[in-house]
Amino acid sequence: MTRVLFVCMGNICRSPIAEGIFRERLRVEGLTEQVSTDSAGTHDYHVGRAPDRRAQAMMAQEGIDISDLRARQVDGFDFEFFDYVLAMDEGNYEWLRAEAPSDYQAKIQPMLSFAASPGVHWVPDPYFGGDSGFRSVYELIDDAANGLLDSVRRRITD
């Protein structure tokens, strides 16, 4: 089993969008028995809450339901358990690198390191913006999900 963790600050916008997109990719590709997903936040602001209503609405427009997800905070076990720990922005990336034991540093990567489109390195936080910010986040993550899927496939076949 390959395990993928998506991480943002509060775990109600970007990381649930990423988890929703990627688990849909896994479903379409028939890989749900070989790959598991989760999402978490670096902070405990929203623990136990469903994704932001704007994130849910935008994902529903794409035919993806993320209403079952609940926010949680990253814990020390995540660094050992997950094969990929994917940060949405630089602050989350630096937080994860500071918290992770040295043996697990290589697992921590920016989500957009898997994107085909060059130039954008971090997924902006849409929380304080309007609906268009959620669409932009979706498009960035959707692009990166293709490269991530390729990486996960290689890992499975190796």
Inside any domain, residue 13: yes
Q: Residue 107 corresponds to which tokens in the numbers above?
A: 């697992």
In a domain, 109, yes or no: yes
Residue 158 lies in a domain: no
Known catalytic residue at 97 = no
53 is catalytic: no
User: Is 26 part of a structural domain of the chain?
Assistant: yes
Whether residue 54 contacts residue 24, with contact meaning beta carbons closer than 8 Å, is answered with no
Q: Which tokens belong to 42?
A: 């670096």
| Residue pLDDT, tens place only, 44-100 | 999 999 999 999 999 999 999 999 999 999 999 999 999 999 999 999 999 999 999
Distance (Å, rounded) from C-alpha 137 to C-alpha 55?
A: 10
Report the CATH number that the domain containing residue 77 is assigned in CATH.
Answer: 3.40.50.2300
User: DSSP letters of 18-78?
Assistant: HHHHHHHHHHHHT-TTTEEEEEEESS-TTTTPPPPHHHHHHHHHTT---TT----B--HHH
Q: Which of 53, 103, 125, 153 is catalytic?
A: 125
Report yes or no on 67 lying in a domain. Answer: yes
The active-site residue out of 8, 25, 52, 78 is: 8
Q: Is residue 58 part of a domain?
A: yes
Instruction: Provide the domain limits for residue 11.
Output: 2-152
Q: 121 pairs with which residues across the strands?
A: none
pLDDT value of position 12: 98
Q: How many domains does the chain have?
A: 1
pLDDT at 158: 83
Place 152 in a pLDDT band, splitting at 50, 70 and 90: very high
Percent of the chain residues past pLDDT 70, beyond the cut: 100
Q: Is 142 a catalytic residue?
A: no
Kindly provide the b/e burial profile for residues 59-70, where b requires at least 16 CB atoms within 10 angstroms of the residue's own CB: beeeebebeebe
- Decide if pLDDT at 129 tops 90: no
